[in-house]
Amino acid sequence: MTAILDSAVDPIVERRRAVQAAAASSLRRRKLGSMVALGICWLFLAIAIVPLVAVVVYVMAKGLPAWNTDFFTKSTTPEGVPGGGVWNAIVGTAVITTVATAVAVPLGLLCGLFLAESDGRAAQTLRFTADVMTGIPSITVGIFGYIAIVRNFGYSGLAGAFAVGFIMLPVIIRAGETAFRGVPRSLNEAAMALGARRATIARRVVVPTALPGVITGVLLAIARGLGETAPLLLTIFGNQYLQWNPTKPMSALPTLIYSYSSQPFADLVQVAWGAALLLMTVVLVLSIGSRLLAAYLQKERR
Amino acid sequence: MNDAGSQSEVDPVTRFEGSLSVQTERSMTDPPEGDVVMTLREVAVAFGGRTAVRDVSFDVRAGEATALIGPSGSGKTTLLRALNRMHDAERSATVTGTVRLGDLDVYGSDTDPTLLRSRVGMVFQRPNPFPTMSIYDNAVAGLRFNGVRKKALLDEAAESALAAAALWDSVKDRLKAHGSTLSGGEQQRLCIARALAVEPEVLLMDEPTSALDPIATKRIEELVGELKDRVTIVIVTHNMQQAMRVSDRCAFLLMGEDKAGELIEFGPTAQLFSEPSDPRTLDYVNGRFG
C-alpha cells in the first residue's frame, strides 16, 4: 500500500523540488532582466518627454518677454512701427473657433450618437467617411475651402471656420461615438423595459450618462481646431485691424505665428513667440481642463 | 431501471423536508385559480435561425408568482424576455407562437412595443439604476419616459412604489441622493420600485437576486410575496429553493438534444416539487443535475 502511494507521489515531489531549485537559482538573472527592461522603459519615456518639455520651456523663455498689456489689447502694427499686440488675432481665433465649434459639435455628436445606436449600412458608410476625413491633410481642407468658398464669396472668417470645422468634425464624431458606446447596455434595457422610445432613451439616459466623455471629446476637438494653421492660410487672408465680423477677412493666432516668424524684423519675430506661447497655453489649459472636468463629473455621480 | 425508481420515490420527502411545511400550508391542492393574465402558446425564440427555446405553452395567472426554472442554457431568460418584446432590439432574434396579454396579441402587427412594455415591466439580474439620476428621479423615470408631467402624480407614484419596494422609510429623507449611493440590495429594490411606479400588470424578474448577498436576497423574496396582490409576477431563477419559496406555479425548462430549451412540465409549485409527472423534473428538483 505504501509502495503504491510512494510511487504515485514521488515524481510529483521530485518535480516540485526541481521547479523550486530552478526558480531559486535563476532569481538573480530574472531580477536583472526585469530591471533592465524597466530601465529601457524609463529611457524611452524620457526620450519622449524631453522634446515636449524643451518646447514648452523654450517657447516660454522666448514668448514671455513679448507679453505685456499692449500685447493682449492692441492690434498688430505694420513692420517697423513699434508696439502693437495680437488682439486682432485673438479675436479672429476666438470667433473662427466659436463658429466652427457651434457647427461641428451638434453635427458631430448627432453623427456619433447615430454610429453608437445603429449598426446598419448607413452607419458603416458614415464611420468610413469620418475615418477618411481624419486622414485628409489639413492643407487639402484649406484648398477645398479656398475653391469652394473663397473663390465664390471671397476671403472671410467664415471660410476659415468652415475649414476648421471640417477638421474638428471627425474628431467629435469618433469621440462622441466612443462616449455613447460606453453607456452600459443594461441602462438601455432598463429604459426600454419601462416603455421608453429610442429617442427618449437617447435623450434621457444615453446622453446624460455619456456627458463626461462627450465634454472631454469636445474640448479636445476645440484644442485641436485652435492650433490648425493650414486650413486658415488659404481662407481668412489675415487682417491687420481688429475685425469682429466673420464675413470679412480676419486674422488668427496660428497664421500670425506662421507669417511673423519668417519676417526679418526682430520685433515681429518676438510677437510670433508671444502668440505661440499664448496659443500653447490655451491648448494646454483646454487639454488638462477637459481631463480634470471629466474626472470631476465621474466622481460627482459616485 | 433497477433501484432508481424506488429512490426517486423516497428522495423528495427526505431531501426537501422544508418543502413539506410549504405543501401543508398550501394543503397540497392547486392554488386558487386567478384570471389568466398572459397566455403563451407554442412560443419559440430563435437567434439567426438557431432555436434557443421552443414549444412553450402555459398560462400566467393574476395574483400569482410564476417561476421559470431549469439549468443554465434551458432558455429561461430568453423566454422571459420574449414576454415584453425585449428581443426586438436584437435584429437576429425571431419569436414565433402566440403571446397574449389579456386580449392583446403581444406580437400583433399593430401592437406598439413601448406601450406593451409599460404594461409588462422588468427587473434585471444586476441592479441597474440610472447613474445620472437621483433616487426620486429613478423611481419616476418610467413615468417621465411615458410622458407623465404632473408633479402630484409623480410624487404619489414615487412614494407608493418606493413603499411597495420596502425602500420608502430608508430613502424618504434623501430622495435627492444618487441611486448609486445605495447598497446593492437597495439598488435592486429601487429598480423594482422604478418598474412598479409605471403600475404594470405583469412584472418580469430575471434572476433578480443573482448579484445579491443572502440577506438582500431574502428581502427581495419577501417582496415578491408582498407584491403579488399589486402585480402578477413571472420570475426566472436558477435556485430551486427560491422557486419553492416564492412561486405559486412553476415552469420547468430543459435543454434538449439540439441545445434548444423546451418546456418539460408546468404546474402548481407544490406539485411540481413533490410529485412531478415527468422523471426529468423529478431528477432536477432532487438535485441530480443542473
What residue spans define the domains of chain B? 4-285
Whole-number Å distance between alpha carbons of B200 and B178: 25
A200 chain-B contacts, CB cut-off 8 A: 145
CATH class of B4-285: alpha beta
Could you read off the pLDDT of A231-265 as tens digits, one per residue? 999 988 888 888 899 888 899 999 999 999 888 88
Task: Tell which of B92, B114, B154 to mutate to test the A interface (max A CBs under 10 Å).
Answer: B114
Q: Is the pLDDT of residue B27 over 90?
A: no
Could you read off the pLDDT of A193-216 as tens digits, one per residue? 999 999 999 999 999 999 999 999
Could you tell me which residues come within 8 angstroms of residue B270 by beta carbon, excluding any fewer than 6 positions away?
A: B19, B22, B23, B26, B28
Comparing CA positions, the residue from B207, B248, B257, B202 lying closest to residue B70 is B207
Could you read off the pLDDT of A95-125 as tens digits, one per residue? 999 999 999 999 999 999 999 988 889 999 9
Q: Compute, in degrees rounded to 10, the torsion defined by CA atoms A276, A282, A287, A291.
A: 160
A42 vs A236 pLDDT, higher one: A42
Instruction: Give the mean model confidence (pLDDT) for residues A143-160.
Output: 91
pLDDT at A70: 87
| CB-CB under 8 Å, B132 with A208 | yes
Binding-site residues on chain A for chain B (CB distance < 8 A): 184, 186-197, 200-201, 204-205, 208-209, 211, 301-302
Containing A70, the helix (H) or strand (E) segment is: helix A69-73
Say which of A186, A196, A200 has its CB closest to residue B124: A186
Percent of chain A with pLDDT over 90: 70
Domain definitions of chain A by residue range: 94-252
| CA of A122 vs chain B CAs: smallest distance (Å) | 16
Percent of chain B with pLDDT over 90: 79
Comparing CA positions, the residue from B234, B243, B148 lying closest to residue B197 is B148
Instruction: Give the mean model confidence (pLDDT) for residues B14-24.
Output: 42
Instruction: Give the mean model confidence (pLDDT) for residues B212-233.
Output: 93
Contact (CB, 8 A) for A187 and B187? no
A240 vs B233 pLDDT, higher one: B233
Q: Is the pLDDT of residue A78 over 80?
A: no
Q: Whole-angstrom distance between the N-terminal and C-terminal Cα of chain B?
A: 21
Residue A120's alpha-carbon distances to A126, A127, A132, A203, in angstroms, are: 10, 11, 19, 21
| CA of B152 vs chain A CAs: smallest distance (Å) | 20
Could you read off the pLDDT of B81-98 as tens digits, one per residue? 999 999 998 889 999 999
Where do runs of H (alpha helix) occur along chain B?
4-15, 17-25, 76-82, 113-119, 135-139, 141-145, 151-164, 168-171, 184-197, 214-227, 240-246, 269-274, 279-285
| CB-CB under 8 Å, A190 with B130 | yes
Could you tell me which residues come within 8 angstroms of residue B268 by beta carbon, excluding any fewer than 6 positions away?
A: B26, B30, B31, B248, B249, B250
Whole-number Å distance between alpha carbons of A198 and A186: 14
Comparing CA positions, the residue from B159, B115, B114, B118 lying closest to residue B136 is B159
| CB-CB under 8 Å, B146 with A302 | no
Q: Is the pLDDT of residue B263 over 70?
A: yes
Q: Selecting from 1.10.3720.10, 3.40.50.150, 1.20.1250.20, 3.20.20.190, what CATH number does the domain A94-252 have?
A: 1.10.3720.10
Instruction: Give the mean model confidence (pLDDT) for residues B151-163.
Output: 96
Q: Is the pLDDT of residue A5 over 90?
A: no
pLDDT at B23: 43
CB neighbours of residue B11 within 10 Å: 16
A123 chain-B contacts, CB cut-off 8 A: none
Instruction: Give the mean model confidence (pLDDT) for residues B275-289.
Output: 89
B121 chain-A contacts, CB cut-off 8 A: 193-194
